[in-house]
Amino acid sequence: MSEKATQEDLDVIQVQLGRTPRDVHAISYRCPCGKPAVVATPPRLSDGTPFPTFYYATCPKLTGAISTLETTGMMAEMQERLGTDKELAAAYSKAHEQYQAARNELGMDVPEVKGITAGGMPDRVKCLHSLVAHSLSAGSGVNPLGDEALAALPKWWLSDPCTASNEETK
């Protein structure tokens, strides 16, 4: 459910990131507080740089909660399960395909990122930030490992504003 970013959205994202946002294509997920939390970014930035991370989490409360979750060993456990659970591996591979298809809808041919998505898909787990951003943007049931990580997060939007910059939340 992406929507075009307004200037107000871009201003919020600038505060969230502590820098000018680059090439925001759309807001792909809004935090329950109503502020942008995940953006969709084209696979080639305006300066020509290839950028495979289509879904990018901007909310510092969300990214902080995910960073804390990454310290729990969840990624290693997920990676181990990918090697033994064929159904999980197949669903994760489908998530990789869906991610590529959504990015390809922008109509940009970027050979440098062909077959590359984010978070380690389709056969590794290396970034819960990317997987959660994908789950929030694509919806429940698309990325099984993103959904698991999302379910393990606290309700990040309940404390402090989502517009506090990453520097203010450290």
Alpha carbons 138 and 146: distance in angstroms, whole number: 10
The answer to whether 79 and 124 are in contact (CB under 8 A) is yes
Alpha carbons 112 and 97: distance in angstroms, whole number: 17
pTM of the predicted structure, to 2 decimals? 0.92
pLDDT digits (tens, 9 = 90+) for 115-145: 999 999 999 999 999 999 999 999 999 999 9
Q: Kindly state the tokens that stand for 14.
A: 């600038």
Report whether pLDDT(170) > 50: no
User: What distances in angstroms separate CA 105 from CA 53, 100, 101, 125, one per listed residue?
Assistant: 14, 9, 6, 25
Residue extents of the structural domains in the chain: 7-158
pLDDT digits (tens, 9 = 90+) for 12-67: 999 999 999 999 999 999 998 899 999 999 999 999 999 999 999 999 999 999 99
For residue 159, what pLDDT band results from cuts at 50, 70 and 90?
confident
